[in-house]
Structure 1
């Protein structure tokens, strides 16, 4: 399989083979259900659609209820499509099949994690763009330490150019972290432990890709 959907549980640390302390993220990956298989003849491209997480039937639209019924499964919360998977996965992607974490990854693999970063709200330029501020407190600059400083043009143009780094909403961006090592897999609990940090808050949806 080209990947799997999971839920971020939290962070911990594991001692490596040489006694080093490795910061790790624990993810509940799967079980996922194959809800659609696309091919070149009918859809123009190859893809497999996976669904993860339970959802109440009353909160699911009728078109989605029929979509899940075709796969003979209950309504799911997250639906993700993995495009252009290799042909050797053809035997693993029948409609309605359950995909578990041990079917996709083994210990020692490297994967990419895709998620939505934590929202920070409206932030200033020092936190958002690592500005240094105006400088020291000499010459009466008692309240300018975290200010952006001069930013506009002189008489020509006489405006602030587009794309200028300013204060604004920070976070809630789609982030992809690459080359995370699979440290441990616990198939009984559907858990996978990867080295390093994964974007998102606790209980956030995470997409794990090969």
Structure 2
């Protein structure tokens, strides 16, 4: 609400505003709360060569342009671990076997409609009677069979959107390239502080009885005292959290059996779902541009119509 002038000054102000020379001399007193700590420019946020930070969605996409992969990833299943032996070098390399099962492009997310570019990938198969009606209508409108797992993969721009219905097999990845693997760790259930956080436990003597593996007192000596702060390390559920293993090298690709063998270990038990995509901290693999097949293009156009 604009400030109001007292009743005695109202006629005078109405007369003075008619005079051009006297009107600018009357100014309303600024109202509002001044900040006690106004932002001050520093060498970290102001400079001729530094970009201007913005809070719009377009600026956010520009900031993430260099950290988004150029193409979609794939949904795999962890089959287990094995080893590859090089007889020439005499080196044994531990590796993880990942398998692709009917991985198919379900739909797209575009900047104009959803605010970002992404590819929705489905894997596996599920009977239509076990699929919710909303998802069943989504699959039928796109012209694909019901999938057991559906995951989105962010991409940089529209050039990384393969046509709907395209199958992604093991040949999507190349031997020698690097990938990032995302999966859930093994669930350990309810665990104590020694197993969950690595506490050393309490003394075995000096009056400690039957509480050698417990955390002890949790409230005092935290600054405020008399209460437990959020985030305190205590006993609770351990594991079953998403973990990302970066820069895994692809050692072997078997396109006929849909198997991708990567170097090292991947989090999770056997049979867990692993999402793999081109590593963001390594050079992008050299691939041919995505060209839609005529049959796939016709099916996508019919589904869109």
In the TM superposition, residue 187 of structure 1 has moved relative to its aligned partner by: 1.0
In the TM superposition, residue 88 of structure 1 has moved relative to its aligned partner by: 4.3
Aligned to 1:67: 138
In the TM superposition, residue 86 of structure 1 has moved relative to its aligned partner by: 4.5
Matches within 5 A, 1:59-208: 59-90=130-161, 93-103=162-172, 105-135=173-203, 137-141=204-208, 143-153=210-220, 157-208=225-276
SS in 2 for 1:65: helix
Is contact 2:181–2:275 with CA below 8 Å preserved after alignment?
yes
In the TM superposition, residue 172 of structure 1 has moved relative to its aligned partner by: 1.1
Give the TM-score normalised by the residue count of structure 2: 0.63
Aligned CA RMSD, in angstroms, stands at 2.0
Unaligned runs of 5+ in 1: none
Aligned to 1:38: 109
CA distance in 2, matches of 1:124, 1:43: 43
In the TM superposition, residue 46 of structure 1 has moved relative to its aligned partner by: 1.3
CA distance in 2, matches of 1:174, 1:83: 17
SS in 1 for 2:251: strand
**C-alpha distance after superposition, 1:129-176 (max 9, x if no partner):** 0111113x2334353432223433169632333321110000111111
In the TM superposition, residue 72 of structure 1 has moved relative to its aligned partner by: 2.4
CA distance in 1, matches of 2:150, 2:224: 51
CA distance in 2, matches of 1:117, 1:42: 34
Is contact 1:2–1:85 with CA below 8 Å preserved after alignment?
no
SS in 2 for 1:54: coil
Unaligned runs of 5+ in 2: 1-70, 279-305
Give the TM-score normalised by the residue count of structure 1: 0.89
Aligned to 2:4: none
Aligned to 2:76: 6
Q: Whose strand proportion is higher, 1 or 2?
A: 1
Q: Whose helix proportion is higher, 1 or 2?
A: 2
In the TM superposition, residue 183 of structure 1 has moved relative to its aligned partner by: 1.1
Is contact 1:30–1:99 with CA below 8 Å preserved after alignment?
no
Q: Whose relative contact order is higher, 1 or 2, with alpha carbons under 8 Å and at least 6 apart? A: 1
In the TM superposition, residue 122 of structure 1 has moved relative to its aligned partner by: 0.4
